Structure 1
């Protein structure tokens, strides 16, 4: 994808960031937890989009791109905070909030052409949510 015109390259990365968010969204939706299947792919794609915009708007300017990255992280923190619900002596939604945060990292990895990292993050997140659930229920 390195030699592609910037527009097709960006569209491919956006689609990949979206696709890598689907397994995490499916897992959250499957457990009847919200947010779910629509939200996670959009988080991945949105993070990717903002970082692509930063790369395009500030080519070769690492500091400016770093500011864009920081802004994305702040926004994702705000969204993740909204997924956490405090009830009567109980807090719920932390795994969902962390999953949102990691899905943004998936999008960031794809934006910076670290496709293998995005795939590993997506698959590891789904595996952790599914495989470690029984251990949480017994504690």
Structure 2
């Protein structure tokens, strides 16, 4: 079993870009003391990117890749649903869920 170092470096490059793009939003949320911050946004971005990279590399058809995107969107929707809290007639966390 040989490792394809070009593919590994290519995927690490894309994961680093996903991480770097999530950091400004995460820092803004962290400074504002909002619900999701430095742990949540980069984790979701890198995980989503990783799942897409695996889907693109393993599943060679666009139909299968679209199912991976659908699964990622469903998972993020589940996280968003958990971020919205309703207590005693007030709803909080909708800005976090919108991000």
- TM score, norm. by length of structure 1: 0.65
| Structure 2: gaps of 5 or more residues | none
| Structure 1: gaps of 5 or more residues | 100-139
Is the aligned partner of 1:16 residue 2:17? yes
Deviation of 1:11 (Å) = 0.3
Deviation of 1:38 (Å) = 1.2
Moved over 6 A (4+): none
Secondary structure of 1:5 counterpart: helix
1:95 aligns with 95
Is the aligned partner of 1:34 residue 2:35? yes
1:75 aligns with 75
1:25 aligns with 26
In 2, Cα distance between equivalents of 1:29 and 1:35: 7
In 2, Cα distance between equivalents of 1:82 and 1:34: 11
In 2, Cα distance between equivalents of 1:30 and 1:84: 20
- TM score, norm. by length of structure 2: 0.90
1:62 aligns with 62
Deviation of 1:33 (Å) = 1.4
Report the count of equivalent residues: 95
In 2, Cα distance between equivalents of 1:27 and 1:86: 24
Secondary structure of 1:86 counterpart: strand
CA RMSD of superposed structures (Å): 1.3
Higher relative contact order (CA 8 A, sep 6+): 1
